[in-house]
């Protein structure tokens, strides 16, 4: 009788060990860092989730998200990026502008960083080159600055009598560093 109890106990321990190992298999955590509010980028993140789902990554099933939003307080970005690094997220995703990507780059040299910005990532020091970003960072840029001349041409066609044109920018956004230098 003892032999059967021993075998049953051993089988139970093996099953418990397998269950414990299965529970320890971590679900990857995607850290999302942005400079505005989570609500402001709700649609963009919905598309991001849909894109991941196309590759069978579904929130709550085999991936989770940790959002960190600076709520337009750019000075909070380094702290928020450090928090994601402390959580040991699998990847950090930044969207909409350069400061979150720069904060993430400063916070880690090992966790992969994926950005989506409108600025030139080479010019602002985010990557070494477009062809070979280098390090742990890569992403997509629309190079919106490259279109500025064309936008002014279209504006001039729409309002040919305009002699002065002004635009508002966030001076703390590194993407506008060349404008700051030019205006001095």
- List the domains of the chain with CATH numbers: 26-145 (3.40.50.2300), 147-183 (no CATH)
- For residue 125, is it left (φ>0), alpha (ψ between -120 and 50) or beta? left
Determine which helix (DSSP H) or strand (DSSP E) holds 115, and give its type and residue range. strand 113-117
Quick check: 56 and 91 in contact, CB under 8 A?
no
Per-residue pLDDT tens digits of the chain, which is 184 residues long: 454 554 444 444 444 444 444 555 689 999 999 999 888 888 888 888 898 899 999 999 999 999 999 999 999 999 999 999 999 999 999 987 899 999 999 999 999 999 988 888 888 899 998 888 889 999 888 766 666 777 788 888 888 888 887 777 777 766 665 554 444 4
| Strand pairing report for 91-95 and 64-69 | unpaired
pTM of structure: 0.69
User: Which residue carries 């700051």 as its tokens?
Assistant: 180
């Amino acid at each position: 009788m003892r032999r059967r109890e021993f075998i049953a106990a051993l089988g139970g321990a093996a099953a418990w060990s397998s269950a414990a190992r299965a529970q320890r298999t971590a679900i990857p955590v995607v850290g999302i860092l942005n400079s505005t509010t989570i609500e402001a980028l709700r649609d963009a993140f919905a598309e991001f989730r849909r894109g991941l789902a196309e590759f069978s990554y579904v929130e709550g099933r085999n991936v989770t998200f940790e959002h960190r939003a600076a709520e337009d307080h750019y000075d909070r970005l380094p702290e928020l990026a450090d928090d994601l690094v402390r959580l040991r997220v699998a990847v950090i995703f930044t969207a909409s502008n350069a400061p979150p990507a720069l904060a993430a780059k400063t916070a880690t040299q090992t966790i992969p960083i994926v950005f989506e910005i409108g600025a030139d990532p080479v010019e602002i020091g985010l990557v070494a080159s477009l062809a070979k970003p280098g390090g742990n960072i890569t992403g997509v840029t629309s190079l919106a600055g490259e279109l500025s001349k064309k936008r002014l041409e279209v504006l001039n066609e729409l309002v040919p009598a305009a002699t002065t044109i002004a635009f508002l920018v966030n001076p703390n956004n590194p993407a506008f560093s060349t404008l700051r230098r030019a205006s001095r």
